[in-house]
Amino acid sequence: IRFTDDYYHTSFCLASSEVVKEVAEIALNTNDISVRSSLLSLFSYNQIIGNELKSPPAFPFPERLIDIATDELSHLEESKPEYVHSILRVLNKIRHPNLAALGRRLRNSPPHFSFRGYGWTMLGNNYTADDRDELIAALTTESTDIENGNGTFYSALGAMLSAAERGADGLPLELLPSFWAEMPRNRWRQKIAEILLKYDMMPKNIRNECRYDQSERIRELVK
């Protein structure tokens, strides 16, 4: 069973809560990890329906899925990486207090498993003031090579911008202006500009630079 066609994902986005719960129960109860991965994919991907981007239904039993992820991380050498990815993609769509510990564990996982990005997304989705020092450390110690795409820096920056978009408290937003000049991509500059404007923290020099930015969207922001 493989739910790789957009038809299945689109249909599932429109499913009733009863169907969503039934599919989740089947995914949790099967011992076939390939079937579980395929069913979990229904909870993972956004779909365009009627020219509107629609998120998939939230997984209705997050605690049970978090327990499975935690168990798999305890014996990563024995786990199939793609199966673990399928679980973490679903958890990345969820806000839940139990994800704080799991996210921290992922951010400190061995680099070759490529799970650290999930940990940063979980921090952004579930940010509290307790995460402030870790976020500052990642942004300041990993910011020496912004132009060449330092992965940890951008993961941490994405987490902060995501948390800022939902209005989380205690974020070190005062760091954002210092990263502006080195941002090599329009989409990052635009996100930073949006957050600085949202919190009324945009310095005059950056506002002036935005007026003449190569990106029309950024120029529009400061009109």
Model pLDDT, residue 183: 85
What per-residue confidence (pLDDT) applies to 4? 52
- Cα three-residue angle 107-59-12, rounded to 5 degrees: 125
**Within 10 A of 68 (CB to CB), how many other CB atoms are there?**
17
- What confidence tens digit (pLDDT) does each residue in 178-217 have? 988 888 888 999 999 999 999 999 999 999 999 999 999 9
pLDDT band at 16 (very low <50, low <70, confident <90, very high): very high
**pLDDT at res. 181:** 81
Distance CA 82, CA 85 (A): 5
Residue-wise burial string across 22-48, b where 16 or more C-beta atoms lie within 10 A, e elsewhere: ebbeebbeeeebeebbbbbbbbbbebe
Residue 1: predicted pLDDT: 44
Residues 6+ apart with CB under 8 A from 34: 83
> How does pLDDT run across 139-170, given as a tens digit for each residue?
988 766 676 656 888 999 999 999 999 999 99
Q: Exposure of 187 by Cβ count < 10 A (0-12 exposed, 13-18 middle, 19+ buried)?
A: exposed
| Structural tokens at position 160 | 């902060």
What is the C-alpha to C-alpha distance for residues 186 and 30, in angstroms, rounded to an integer? 44
pLDDT tens digits along 92-143: 999 999 999 999 999 988 877 789 999 999 999 999 999 999 999 999 887 6
Q: What is the DSSP string of 116-154?
A: HHHHHHHHHHT--GGGHHHHHHHHHHTGGGGGGT-HHHH
Overall pTM > 0.75: yes
- Reported confidence tier of residue 32, pLDDT bands at 50, 70, 90: very high
